Amino acid sequence: MAMRATRNRERGFAVIMTALTMMVTLPLVGLAVDLSILYLIRAKLYQAVDAAALAGGRALANGSTPAAQASSAVTAATTFFNANFPTGYWGTSNIALAPPTVDSISTPNYRTVTVSATVTAPLFFLRILGQNSAQISVSSQAGRRDVVMMLVLDRSSSMTTYPYQGTTPCVWMIQDAQQFLNYFAPGRDMIGLVVFGSSVFTYPPTATFTTPDANGNTVASLIGNIACGGNTNSVEAMYQAYNQLVVTNSTTRANIIVLMTDGRPNGFTGNYTTPTNLVKNANCTVGGQLIGEVEQWAGGPYATGETSGLSIETTTVVNASRDGQAPSNTSGCAMDSNIAWAPPTDLSQMPTADVHGNSIIGNYSINNPNAPYNGTPDNRNLSSPQQIEVASVNALDNMGITIRQNALLSPNIYTLALEGNAPNDPPDTLLLRKMANDPSMQNDPSATAQLFWTQQNPGQTVGYFADAPNAGQLSAAFNSIAERITVRLSK
């Protein structure tokens, strides 16, 4: 009888404890469920305002005046917010988007788009405590720094080979590069152009890049006039692009170089001040100076084959019509009529640096990564296409270091490799990643395996490398670069 009474008391105690536990547990469970729903709603709202701010920042490029660009930004931000936060999401109501604001005054050459929104979120389990809803407020800001950008485009002869879907890579490049310009804002951004084959065409950066100049040219129209041909004088092209940033000397804008190429550099501009055996023409006088581009013509980096020089390194026309012409200061020399005669009979060995001071000596090697190029006289032989190419790569690498180390302008280099056009001499993606100082270089075994390639260079500006496996993917590569240049979330 006593045992039965004890059991009854235990059952009663258990019922009481269960009831008490449920009084505590159920609100906690309800709180957890409601908080989870609030978290989902808040995350979705943040996603919407982030997308709106980024869209507004990109839209700052649309319009011919700052006022039109700001209006375009507000419209784009509103549209993207509405598209990314659907009405009634998880039972929400009272969605309120504050008018997006554009600030172009606080910081010189820097604009922000700020987007703020609130929404009423329903509560379910916590209604037993008299709380039916909660208000969620979020804000996001995207910043866009004005740029001085030099767009550097490869128009070498390989850009006319291996058509993609019936269209040459040269034509793909032209249309995609023109489209790329739409990411930038007339009146705010300054855009210039460098086009290179054997010779290099330069158009200085201007904020009126969509307005015809005195000759009727815009940056887009000049790109449209490109005719591809010649070799790949990448070093001269990067020097000319960098020189334009130095001349412009803007410390409030972002200084940018975008290099698009489909192959390794295979020529560089040298200063042949002491030609020793100009045997073709004893009357050839050059005033003690012989400057021009020496290049390999072998169609690949072969140990032996055809080389050429001296070719004029700069030109005033955007197409390839002057490629292969000798510099004017060689008038009367045999190479004036046939530059293929120049090396090695007409010229001495390669100099140890290009005309701009970029050393041609480095650790790069095409066939043996463990055999650094030391610049000895034998390795500066003008009869070797391979050695000319190795020298050109080293000069380009050193040009990149000079650019990235400019502490005043802090230039960023963005590189784009178009693959598939030059199977005998494809773009070196490691070289282009190093030129950009792309963060992907850090701790990459494929990069550190070669003596020439180190990890990401600390203390130097960081850019981005984009790869286009074929001409049809050039547009996506250009777009990926543009999105990294123009707009970033700031808060």
CATH number at residue 67: 3.30.1300
- Does 310 fall in a domain? no
127: left (phi over 0), alpha (psi -120 to 50) or beta: alpha
Sheet holding 307-311, edge to edge: 267-271, 291-296, 307-311
Banded model confidence at residue 401, pLDDT cuts 50, 70, 90: very high
**Mean pLDDT throughout 58-66?**
91
Q: Where are the beta strands (DSSP E) in 282-343?
A: 291-296, 307-311, 314-315
Contact (Cβ atoms closer than 8 angstroms) between residue 152 and residue 257: yes
- Does 4 fall in a domain? no
**Mean pLDDT throughout 128-147?**
91
User: Minimum mean pLDDT among 112-116, 268-272, 276-280, 434-438: which range?
Assistant: 276-280
Contact (Cβ atoms closer than 8 angstroms) between residue 452 and residue 365: yes
Report DSSP state, residue 111: E
Same domain, residue pair 113 and 159: no
Same domain, residue pair 45 and 193: no
Q: How far apart are the first and last CA of the chain?
A: 73
Q: Does the pLDDT at position 149 exceed 80?
A: yes
- Does 30 fall in a domain? yes
Alpha-carbon distance values, 51 to 104, 137, 262, 474 (Å): 20, 16, 34, 25
**Mean pLDDT throughout 18-45?**
72
- Quote the pTM value: 0.86
Domain containing 463 equals: 147-266+364-489
Same domain, residue pair 135 and 195: no
Same domain, residue pair 398 and 420: yes
Q: Does the pLDDT at position 449 exceed 70?
A: no
Q: Does the pLDDT at position 310 exceed 80?
A: no
Query: Tens digit of pLDDT for each residue in 96-116?
Result: 999 999 999 999 999 999 999
**Of 99, 41, 95, 110, nearest in space to 73 by CA:** 99
- Does 246 fall in a domain? yes
Give exposure, 466-481, as e/b (b: 16+ Cβ within 10 Å).
Answer: bbbeebebbbebbebb
State residue 346's pLDDT score: 65
**Mean pLDDT throughout 50-57?**
96
Last residue of a domain, one of 112, 145, 178: 145
Give exposure, 165-190, as e/b (b: 16+ Cβ within 10 Å).
Answer: eeebbbbbbbebbbebbebbbbbbbb
- Does 322 fall in a domain? no
- Does 292 fall in a domain? no
Average pLDDT, the chain: 84
Last residue of a domain, one of 90, 116, 145: 145
Same domain, residue pair 79 and 154: no
State residue 141's pLDDT score: 96
Query: Tens digit of pLDDT for each residue in 321-343?
Result: 768 776 654 444 545 556 665 56
Last residue of a domain, one of 94, 124, 145: 145
The backbone torsions φ and ψ at residue 27, rounded to the nearest 5 degrees and listed phi first, read -60, -35
Same domain, residue pair 227 and 246: yes
What is d(CA 27, CA 50) in angstroms, rounded to the nearest whole number?
A: 34
- Does 91 fall in a domain? yes
- The number of folded domains in the chain is 2
Same domain, residue pair 221 and 236: yes
- Element holding 239 (H helix, E strand): helix 234-248
Same domain, residue pair 176 and 104: no
**Mean pLDDT throughout 40-65?**
94
CATH number at residue 173: 3.40.50.410
Helix spans in 405-467 (H): 429-436, 445-448
Query: What residues contact 125, with CB distance under 8 A and at least 6 apart?
Result: 26, 27, 29, 30, 31, 33, 34
The backbone torsions φ and ψ at residue 192, rounded to the nearest 5 degrees and listed phi first, read -125, 175
User: Minimum mean pLDDT among 93-97, 212-216, 483-487: which range?
Assistant: 483-487
Query: Tens digit of pLDDT for each residue in 179-188?
Result: 999 999 999 9
Query: Tens digit of pLDDT for each residue in 281-300?
Result: 444 454 445 778 888 887 78
Same domain, residue pair 66 and 193: no
Helix spans in 60-168 (H): 66-84
Same domain, residue pair 118 and 164: no
What is d(CA 174, CA 155) in angstroms, rounded to the nearest whole number?
A: 10
Selected residue with higher pLDDT from 428 and 237: 237
Q: Does the pLDDT at position 277 exceed 70?
A: no
Same domain, residue pair 77 and 163: no
- Does 28 fall in a domain? yes
Same domain, residue pair 196 and 247: yes
